[in-house]
Amino acid sequence: MKIKIFPLTADAATIAAGRQRRRTAGKLQRKREMPEISCRLIVATATAAVAVASIICLSFSLPGCAAQESDDEGELHHLDQLHHQHQDFIIGESEEHDHIAHHLAEMQNKDELLEDIREDTVVNAIPEKDLPKFGELLQNVTVPVSREAVLQCVVDNLQTYKIAWLRVDTQTILTIQNHVITKNHRMSITHAEKRAWILRIRDVKESDKGWYMCQINTDPMKSQVGYLDVVVPPDILDYPTSTDMVIREGSNVTLKCAATGSPTPTITWRREGGELIPLPNGAEAVAYNGSFLTIAKVNRLNMGAYLCIASNGIPPTVSKRVMLIVHFPPMIWIQNQLVGAALTQNITLECQSEAYPKSINYWMKNDTIIVPGSDHGASYRSDGKSPHLTKHDAKSLTDDLDRMQDLKGWASRLAPVSPILGLSMILGIGFLGPWPG
């Protein structure tokens, strides 16, 4: 791309004025000489034409020439008369001669003008050593978004030539010398140390990224280009990044994470507690790189917080927490299915349960729910996983006729997640004496 912006220097203008004066004087001289030269050429040409026509008549048996074949002297006399007639005709028609001469002169003037232009090109050439030149290479610049970018162009021996900054991709003139041409108020130009022309761009935006040119208006034009790279820290997008997800145990799930930034960020998945992540190939790893994390046949052990981490070398690194919630049916177990106690002794029955969502836990005896504070003198407590039943008076459990058989049927049932599961416990009561009769 070449853009000529400024006029020639004073020295070049003086040379051009002198050359124009010489060209004008040459034109006047040619105009004075041209009519006479043209008239002579026309007379000579007409005479030659008459002679050729006469020769043709002598060489060929043409009807108009039959009377002259027998008399050579008559032929010569005829040729002489023709010659004088044409000469008198040409001299008498001076206006036509001037018109022809004028056109011939114009043609020669055009040739002279082209020659003068060629001479101008040679005369106007300035030695390379006297022309401005760049003192340093224009460096590429990398700057974070919202900061200030500084592009420096160093020129030696500038003389009366001018410096301009341009945006290459849009072919926009930004500055000329100390003047800002663009309407972008974030740009400014400074001149330092009489050789450095510094373009400053405040509050850099990502759209400012691209090629910039420093140009000197020599002929031919001299220029250098440098690249402004604007880097942007990573930012995780709310969409399509996954939010907290709920899924049934045994299903497949894919966690998504999307981020912007320049350079393009790298996405890494980790578990908040440092647990292993199941990979699509069946292996497990502490971290997984990729925007999509797929877990096949999710189980309750995969439930928890996952971190999507985006980084591109530009601080700060950002992350988003995605909670994976797995629904699964209840599972219960007990440590001891038979528990013994003496009469009047307090006893605690305990079972372990696990489910999500949280289950409703209660105890039953003979298909009857034991309500805390009822006739059985029982109370409930739970540590979040283990429902407990505390019996305050074990003697009341032996009043039934079936005695030990009545001690069966204690269970823990969990709801509402199906299936409802239960495990039986047997409470044995120890006596100091024989069984009553």
Phi-psi region of 11 (alpha: psi -120 to 50; beta: other; left: phi over 0): alpha
At 113, give phi and psi (nearest 5°).
Answer: -65, -45
Query: What's the token pair of residue 342?
Result: 């003496």
Mean pLDDT of the chain: 73
- Give pLDDT, residue 346: 85
pLDDT tens, 64-118? 433 433 444 454 455 455 445 545 544 444 555 565 566 556 556 655 655 554 5
Q: Which residues contact 44 (CB under 8 A, 6 or more apart)?
A: none
0.85 surpassed by pTM: no
User: If you average pLDDT over residues 350-358, what whole number do you get?
Assistant: 87
387, 363 Cβ separation under 8 angstroms: yes
Is the pLDDT at 404 greater than 60? The verdict is no
Amino acid at the residue 3: I
CA 274 → CA 90, 182, 283, 307, 359, distances in Å? 115, 54, 16, 10, 28
Alpha helices per DSSP H over 340-416: none
The per-residue pLDDT for range 276-318, each reduced to its tens digit, is 999 988 899 999 999 999 999 999 999 999 999 999 999 999 9
The Cα 9–Cα 12 span in angstroms is: 5
User: pLDDT band at residue 48, thresholds of 50, 70 and 90?
Assistant: very low
